[in-house]
């Protein structure tokens, strides 16, 4: 074989080998994994289409007004809208940082269990937009193993999703007593019924109302000796009062709520019913059908003279 022919054959062989190597680089498993990196963890997911969220054994649903409500144990409570929005925004922004496995083997080694799916997001018609299972946190503390959409593939993403997701029922609910909030200027009267004593403080039945006295609007009490100014000075704090946690319908403490604070707000009346403190210094209360637990100390400092 002539030298020129050998050179030509060697050249063709080298070119063929180069093409094979390039195809391996661009289409091999490593290359495919690299192309998935920094791609959206939930492709096509946007906050605007989300209307229902399932987290563990409770649900969060969006109303026609755009507000969110938490449903659990046959009860519903207003949700903290900001926390729900933060969860969905985090989900929308998550990226695939690494593909660990596509085989579906040894799931338990990455912290996955066969229990409930950690998160399911649906649209208003119940169509699933996103579902996510979370595993254990990586040793670096900044990332977490996840599975998406029922897939067995194990991915790595930012652990920010855990901060947005790992909240209990009480942490998702809006524990403010007065939802929606009230404007102090629109309160016309407050009436307390029942005698309540907590520690060295006590409050007896009273009624105060706004009246025009000598051309000036002022609070007037029907109870002689009642410190009207002291009580009304605490009114802004009272309207911002937050419960410690939600109460359950089955709890017997809510069957006897002998104390009542009625607030005349414009043309409506809102009633806050209170019971006696339990052994853990919590006071059962009910307002607008919602059962909540208040700190005994908050009640004492805000309501009692």
pTM above 0.75, yes or no: no
Distance of CA 145 to the CA centre of its chain: 22
Quote the CA–CA distance of 111 and 139 in Å, as a whole number. Answer: 13
Quote the CA–CA distance of 145 and 153 in Å, as a whole number. Answer: 10
3-state secondary structure of 293: strand
Do 269 and 188 contact (CB within 8 A), yes or no? no
Residue 300 has a pLDDT of 84
State how far the alpha carbon of 279 is from the alpha carbons of 135, 276, 282, 295, in Å. Answer: 38, 10, 7, 12
pLDDT digits (tens, 9 = 90+) for 225-257: 888 898 899 999 999 999 998 887 667 888 889
Split at pLDDT 50, 70, 90, the class of 17 is: very low
Q: Is residue 16 predicted with pLDDT exceeding 60?
A: no
Q: Is residue 176 predicted with pLDDT exceeding 50?
A: yes
Split at pLDDT 50, 70, 90, the class of 198 is: confident
Q: Is residue 6 predicted with pLDDT exceeding 80?
A: no
Do 232 and 220 contact (CB within 8 A), yes or no? no
State how far the alpha carbon of 149 is from the alpha carbons of 91, 127, 146, in Å. Answer: 13, 13, 10
Do 68 and 58 contact (CB within 8 A), yes or no? no
Average pLDDT score over the chain: 84
Q: Is residue 4 predicted with pLDDT exceeding 70?
A: no
Query: Which residues, including other chains, have CB under 8 Å from residue 191's CB and lie 6 or more apart?
Result: 206, 207, 208, 260, 261, 262, 264
Q: Comparing 15-24, 122-131, 256-265, which segment has the lowest mean pLDDT?
A: 15-24
């Amino acid at each position: 074989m002539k030298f020129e022919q050998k050179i030509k054959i060697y050249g063709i062989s080298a070119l063929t080998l180069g093409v094979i190597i390039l195809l391996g680089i661009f289409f091999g498993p490593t290359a495919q994994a690299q192309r998935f990196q920094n791609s959206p963890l939930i492709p096509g997911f946007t906050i605007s289409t989300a209307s229902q969220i399932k987290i563990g054994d409770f649900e969060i649903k969006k109303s026609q007004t755009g507000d969110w409500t938490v449903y659990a144990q046959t009860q519903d409570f207003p949700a903290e809208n900001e926390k729900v929005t933060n969860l969905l925004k985090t989900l929308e922004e998550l990226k695939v940082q690494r593909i660990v496995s596509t085989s579906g083997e040894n799931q338990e080694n990455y912290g996955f269990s066969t229990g409930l799916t950690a998160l399911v997001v649906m649209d208003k018609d119940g169509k699933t937009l996103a579902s996510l299972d979370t595993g254990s946190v990586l040793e670096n503390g900044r990332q977490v193993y996840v599975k998406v959409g029922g897939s067995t593939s194990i991915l790595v993403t930012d652990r920010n999703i855990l901060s947005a997701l790992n909240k209990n029922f009480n942490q998702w609910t809006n524990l403010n007593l007065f939802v929606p909030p009230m404007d102090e200027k629109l309160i016309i009267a407050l009436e307390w019924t029942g005698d309540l004593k907590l520690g060295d403080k006590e409050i007896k039945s009273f009624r105060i109302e706004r009246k025009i006295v000598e051309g000036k609007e002022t609070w007037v009490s029907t109870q002689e000796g009642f410190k009207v100014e002291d009580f009304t000075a605490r009114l802004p704090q009272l309207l911002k009062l937050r419960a410690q946690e939600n109460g359950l319908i089955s709890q017997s403490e809510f069957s006897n709520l002998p104390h009542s604070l009625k607030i005349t707000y414009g043309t409506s009346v809102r009633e806050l019913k209170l019971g006696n403190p339990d052994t853990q210094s919590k006071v059962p209360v009910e307002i607008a059908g919602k059962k909540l637990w208040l700190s005994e100390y908050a009640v004492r400092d805000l309501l009692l003279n």
